[in-house]
Amino acid sequence: MFAVASALFGTASCTSRENIYSGTENSMSEITTNDSLQVATFGTGCFWCTEAVFQQLDGVTKVESGYSGGKVKNPTYREVCSGLTGHAEVIQITYNPAKVSFEELLEVFWGTHDPTTLNRQGADEGTQYRSVIFYHTQAQKELSEAYKKKLDASGAFDNPIVTEISPFATFYKAEDYHQNYYNLNESAPYCSFVIKPKVDKFKKVFADKLKK
């Protein structure tokens, strides 16, 4: 995975997105899944790209785009884009650990964005595009920190990893038009020229982990 990570990084901007609706809130205590499912929350820049990647993984049952890590309740997309709310664009993943482990989710996380650029992914700049893991359990925290340390020690990246690893507090689901964006808008220019090549590369690298 380390050798192919850089080939998957995107470079185009998501900042042309428009339309504003209100988000919905989920705190740690409010997230409910059945006993066999778990939740992970990752930020890797543009959530359209991240959502499209993780939707392909076997064992992932749901992916929602939204905002976490900020100080304003129920932020809108425009507010988050201002960089003043403190939120990151994230995806919240519901997954079956019997089919895909948190470690495997981390492998995809590290391998599909550049975790060495502070508050930036490609042309997208601002704290809302930061690389971040919001852990839900102590086990997720320990696994994330250990993986980050291992990657840095391996020299997989030319520069040190700057990924934030913080406790999960609240997830605000993004506006409806952000959800399942790539699948619903594959012919849109951004999807065709930015997201599709990234998804195609991801499918080649992680072919053994895809939904059948």
Strands (E), the chain: 24-27, 38-44, 60-68, 88-95, 120-121, 124-125, 131-135, 164-167, 170-173
46 is catalytic: yes
Q: Is the dihedral of CA 181, 185, 188, 189 positive or negative?
A: positive
Q: Which of 46, 49, 81, 191 is catalytic?
A: 46
Residues 6 or more apart from 87 whose CB is under 8 A from it? 67, 68, 69, 70, 72, 75, 80, 128, 172
- Residue numbers annotated as active site: 46
